[in-house]
Amino acid sequence: MKLSKYLLSSALVAASLSFAPSANAFCGFYVAKADTDLFNQSSKVALVRDGDRTVITMANDYIGDPTEFAMVIPVPTVIKKEQVHVSDSSLLDHLDAYTAPRLVEYFDENPCEMRHRLKRFSASAPVMMESAQADTARDQALGVTIEETFSVGEYDILILSAKESDGLQSWLTENGYKIPDGAERTLGSYIKQDMKFFVAKVNLEKKADMGGEMLRPIAVAYESPKFMLPIRLGTVNAKGTQDLFVYALTRKGKVETTNYRTHKIPSDKEVPVFVKDQFGDFYRDMYKTSAKREGGHGVFMEYAWDMNWCDPCAADPLSDDQLRELGVFWLNDREDDIRPMPRRGGKSMAKDVYVTRLHVRYDAESFPEDLKFKTTGDRGNFQGRYILRHAYEGEMNCPEAEDYVERVNTRKEKEIKTLANLTGWSTGHIRTLIDESGTGGFLKSRKEKEKGKSDWWDKIWSDD
């Protein structure tokens, strides 16, 4: 473990001092989100909490004559008129869009162009040989394979595999990464376990740039040591299970339930590219499968992030005015308690708002108690994120092409199994959906393409 940290930190230090930014960054793009509109019988609640102070804003998917609507809200203390506010449903819609699970896509490069990119990648390394160090032939001689190359935020990433420790050590050294003496044995132990190697460098250019219809919601502000949300009354006249979306905004970090286990929704899973056109069906079935594994219900974290930014962004972060309307009262005290947070563009601001999105599927039997919460202090980021990886399907005339086709097809098999596990769909059904979509199918090797191929003159004197 110490070695892996040393390798990574050494790579970052070397990169920050000497690597030139890559002009051909491997970018990911947000393409779809799974918002509350996917679910029927759903409610949205924003919970602003700091200390004993709480502002709760509630919206319901009530359909019918508004004169027949009644909202019953159990609260822990007496509420006065001044503590009640009618808010704007667009705020919760915006909060929903910002925190919604998202679909992103990446596009493979032409593997035959890889060597040219590697030359640019290592051109300014402090320890460099001639162009042979970035040449694929040299990599093969060292037993090192570059499995993936891509960018995440301000980092350019390489994923390496190796056959021998001394070859990997030589590759790292030749490409400007300093590793401690005697590392060969430890590298060898990782290689024997078929582990890959994550290598990162800072992209200096990117680092510099980082910087359903409802009634209007009702907001109530109160002060109480109880951090909870009453849900039991909502099950009295409910037809079956209900979906509840809680957006908890705090200063200190993630919010979790204390009387029910909080699960993280499966995330960072690579799925077949046809899911892009069926993301709604995918996410509904994935959530249903996840809930079923918890007895048909559960509390799932779908998003947890500082409000200053998002990556990738399903919607813009809420403005200060929008947050104040939701009841984020500490923004008015910014001068007394200012804690700058990172923001894109190298700037900082003291928004100091952390949002957690919890998705609860419940009924009276499975949730006999109201929801009780705690603020954990954990400010680590999490999001429901699902990845489409488009294979390169153009002409590939190089020795690397056959290996690339094999790797892609192995990847596609894994994506099918992943999708089946997430949704409960059969692998046969998934293969049918892939065929029907006409996209994301398995690649053919050069031999498969040439099999059965005939030249034009073969048919001139043919009996057929």
Report the chain's C-alpha Rg in angstroms: 27
Q: Which amino acid is at 374?
A: K
Tell me the pLDDT of the chain averaged across its residues.
75
Least confident of 61-75, 147-161, 219-233, 372-386: 61-75
Residue 30 three-state SS: strand
Domain ranges of the chain: 2-26+109-209, 39-104+227-386, 391-450
What average pLDDT does range 203-227 have in this prediction? 68
Helical ranges in 183-313 per DSSP H: 184-192, 204-209, 279-292
* pLDDT at residue 181 tops 80: no
Short-list 427, 126, 424, CA closest to 284: 424
**pLDDT tens figures, 372-423:** 999 999 999 999 999 999 999 888 888 888 888 989 999 999 999 999 999 9
State whether the Cα torsion 231-236-238-239 is positive or negative.
positive
Question: According to the model, what pLDDT value does residue 295 have?
Answer: 82
Question: According to the model, what pLDDT value does residue 242 have?
Answer: 84
CA–CA distance, 270 with 169 (Å, rounded to integer): 30
Retrieve residue 65's tokens. 């004559």
Retrieve residue 186's tokens. 């430890």
What are the strands of the beta sheet with 371-375, ordered from one edge? 228-229, 371-375, 255-257
What average pLDDT does range 111-121 have in this prediction? 62
pLDDT classification of 210: cutoffs 50, 70, 90: very low
Residue 92 and residue 59 in contact, taking contact as beta carbons nearer than 8 Å = yes
**pLDDT tens figures, 246-263:** 999 999 899 999 999 999
CB count within 10 Å of CB 365 equals: 11
Burial of 80-97, coded b for 16+ CB within 10 Å and e otherwise, reads eeeeebebeeebbbbbbb
CB count within 10 Å of CB 341 equals: 16
